Amino acid sequence: MYKIFKILMYAGGFFFLMASCEKANTLTSAKVSSDTLDKEVAITPDVKMVLINGGEYQPFYGTDSSLVEVKDFLLDERPVTNAEFLDFVKKNPKWKRSKIKALFADDTYLQDWQDDETLPKNADPEAAVTFVSWFAAKAYAKAAGKRLPTLDEWEYVAMADEESANARDKPTYSAHLINLYNEKDRQKNKVKSSAPNYWGVYNMFDLVWEWTDDFNSIMTTSDSRTAEFDDKGLFCASAATSTTDVLNYASFMRYAFRSSLKASYTVGNLGFRCAKDTTNSTK
């Protein structure tokens, strides 16, 4: 995955050239948290998990030589809902708004909730939960006996449209997503009210941005940053990355969004869904 560092694409270059240096901190705090995350009270959200058949895929920032293998895995068919997250905080009070440690969530955590155990006014319990930090999402997944999908897993599934597992080469794919992404307040809609993709997964794009386990991984290896400023890297990128991907503005948006995050951030249009390995998928 670190290879993507070297591959700066042209359209995103301005930004990624300057990839944030703060990301390393996030990782450190992630480690700190793993102890506290150990003791969640189990929850059993009623959400179907879809089997995703793995395969090789070219990460958005990759070259032909850097195909990444994604193993078979299970993915929640939709994002975690308000109702489910409410159940989680009831059973795990340390994740309530009034109890949460500042290290694990910034001050907008669940900000629209009326109190620790009351959803926002007019909020649909079946809408995706938002204003949750990466730490909270991770704790939720753990309590559910799951984990967050990796960035590669998420993007692998995101290649699909309704008909095919990989729609990246369709010109309409990106254009459609740009318009979707440009729509405000989508997060207030119920989950699963739009059509599922090829895998039977809903709402990859039309409701919320989603946390991934390694959302900041494109910036984690600090020694690779020197490579980033290498002109040759820039040059190679424009040569190696296919035109389709350079024009895949929707993907640029996701990567830009992820790189604006810290693990404690909570944002009004950022939610998550859970994943699981197939090997331990039986309960």
Partner 1 sequence: MKRIVTCFTLALLTLQACKQNPSENSSAKSENTMDIAVSGDAINQSIVNPPMLPAPIGDRAAKKVVVRLEATEEVGELADGVTYKFWTFNSTVPGTFIRIRVGDEVELHVTNRSDSVMPHNIDLHAVNGPGGGAEATNVAPGKEAIFNFKALNPGLYVYHCAAAPVPLHIANGMYGLILVEPAGGLPKVDREYYVMQGEFYTKGKTDEKGLQEFDQDKGVDERPTYVVFNGKKNALMGANALEAKVGETVRFFVGNGGPNLVSSFHVIGEIFDRVYVEGGSKINENVQTTVIPAGGAAIVEFKVEEPGNYIIVDHSIFRAFNKGAIGMLKVTGEKNPKIYNKVQ
Residue 154 and residue 210 in contact, taking contact as beta carbons nearer than 8 Å = yes
Work out the angle at residue 247's Cα, subtended by the Cα atoms of residues 244 and 253, and round it to the nearest 5 degrees: 125
In this complex, which beta carbon is closest to partner 1, that of residue 15 or of residue 198? 15
Q: Which is nearer to partner 1, 92 or 251 (CB)?
A: 251
The residues that touch partner 1, with contacts defined as CB under 8 A, are 11-21, 108, 174-175, 178-179, 181-185, 247, 249, 252-253, 255-257, 259-261, 265, 267-270
Q: Which is nearer to partner 1, 181 or 198 (CB)?
A: 181
* Least distance (Å) between residue 267 CB and partner 1: 5
Distance, C-alpha 204 to centroid of its chain? 10
Q: Supply the minimum distance, in Å, between the C-beta of residue 254 and partner 1.
A: 9
Q: CB of 23 within 8 A of CB of 266?
A: no
Specify the DSSP element, H or E, that contains 155: helix 151-158
Nearer to partner 1, 240 or 247 (CB): 247
Q: Collapse the DSSP code of 239 into the 3-class scheme (helix H, G, I; strand E, B; otherwise coil) and give the result.
A: helix
Q: Which two tokens stand for residue 281?
A: 């998928």
Q: Which of 270, 273, 276 is nearest to 133 (CA)?
A: 270
**Measured between alpha carbons, how far is 249 from 215 in angstroms, rounded to an integer?**
18
Q: Nearer to partner 1 by C-beta: 11 or 37?
A: 11
Q: Can you tell me which residue has the tokens 């995101």?
A: 158
Q: Which letter does DSSP use for residue 60 in this model?
A: T
